[in-house]
Amino acid sequence: MSKKAFGIDIGGSGIKGAPVDLSTGELTAERVRIDTPQPSTPDAVADKVAELIASFDIEDGMPVGVTFPAVIKAGVAQTAANVDKSWIGTDVDALLTERTGHDVFVVNDADAAGIAEMEFGAGQGAPGVVMVITLGTGVGSAMFVDGKLVPNTELGHLLLHGDSAERYMASSIREKEDLDWETWGARLQEYFSHVEFLFSPTRIIVGGGVSKKHQKFLPLLDLKTEIVPAELRNEAGIVGAAALAQLETKSLRKAAKKVAKTTEKKKAKDASKS
């Protein structure tokens, strides 16, 4: 089994991808970034994803994982908070598999970032309930219970002041409203206190581009829970998607082997009867 997989991170402004060495969690080639087309319709985005993959020389059968900023159930997008609404109901797995010619696994972007942190970053070996909260254009969440992901938790949409919390405390809101660190920090305090009260996590990991500047806001927070910056930063989505794709491929191969074995056994049994 190859320890290499390809990861792609689809975001509101950019689509980024690179091959990943899954024994170290490191990119094995420089990542490529393409602007997300506007409007970000399924068709237009799928073309860019295909273009990105084609710019690498990926060996046949290498697992490909793709992140998407929406609730993903069995490969199908159920929501579209910060992307074109036409994604709702789109089978993203099938669309990208068809368009790229590779077997693609799609996962919520925050879940992918969480997987990367648990495997290679600030969540390694952490027991109990771990929350990875990604602060970006929107706010994403990944929740792990003893290392196992509870997918699509969508805690950026917890209600705060009568609306989705992300509309009040996302990193993009800090930029848009030109909030100073103290003012934004006070908003984060409200949000994280709420998350802490609801889930009693053992650790909170804060990711997203702004986590580079964690010294400006994490020390302002007063929580009972340990709160730490993500370690993978910008590459978490790519690494997590690649890790997931490899796991999925492995379990699909295992399932296929099991089916083949059962079929063989049944054939042998039928043959011995006749």
Least separation, in Å, of the C-beta of 169 and ligand BGC? 12
Nearer Cβ to ligand BGC (58/72): 72
Tokens of 40: 């970000």
68-to-45, 61, 208 alpha-carbon distances in Å? 11, 22, 14
Nearer Cβ to ligand BGC (154/249): 154
Least separation, in Å, of the C-beta of 142 and ligand BGC? 9
Q: Distance between CA 198 and CA 115 in Å, rounded?
A: 22
- DSSP annotation of 67 reads E
Nearer Cβ to ligand BGC (147/151): 151
Nearest-CB residue to ligand BGC? 138
Tokens of 157: 């949409």
Least separation, in Å, of the C-beta of 79 and ligand BGC? 6
Least separation, in Å, of the C-beta of 138 and ligand BGC? 3
Least separation, in Å, of the C-beta of 28 and ligand BGC? 26
Our separate counts of H helices and E strands in the chain read 8, 15
Nearer Cβ to ligand BGC (152/249): 152
Q: Distance between CA 238 and CA 108 in Å, rounded?
A: 12
Least separation, in Å, of the C-beta of 257 and ligand BGC? 34
Least separation, in Å, of the C-beta of 54 and ligand BGC? 26
- State the first-to-last Cα distance of the chain, in angstroms, to the nearest integer: 39
Q: Distance between CA 195 and CA 154 in Å, rounded?
A: 12
Strands (DSSP E) contained in 119-243 are 129-135, 139-145, 148-150, 159-160, 163-164, 203-207, 226-229
Footprint of ligand BGC on this chain (CB under 6 A)?
A: 69-71, 79, 81-82, 108-110, 134, 136, 138, 140, 154, 156, 166
Lookup result for tokens 């697992």? 63
Amino acid residing at 267: K
Nearer Cβ to ligand BGC (156/201): 156
Nearer Cβ to ligand BGC (22/80): 80
Nearer Cβ to ligand BGC (58/131): 131
Q: Distance between CA 37 and CA 188 in Å, rounded?
A: 31
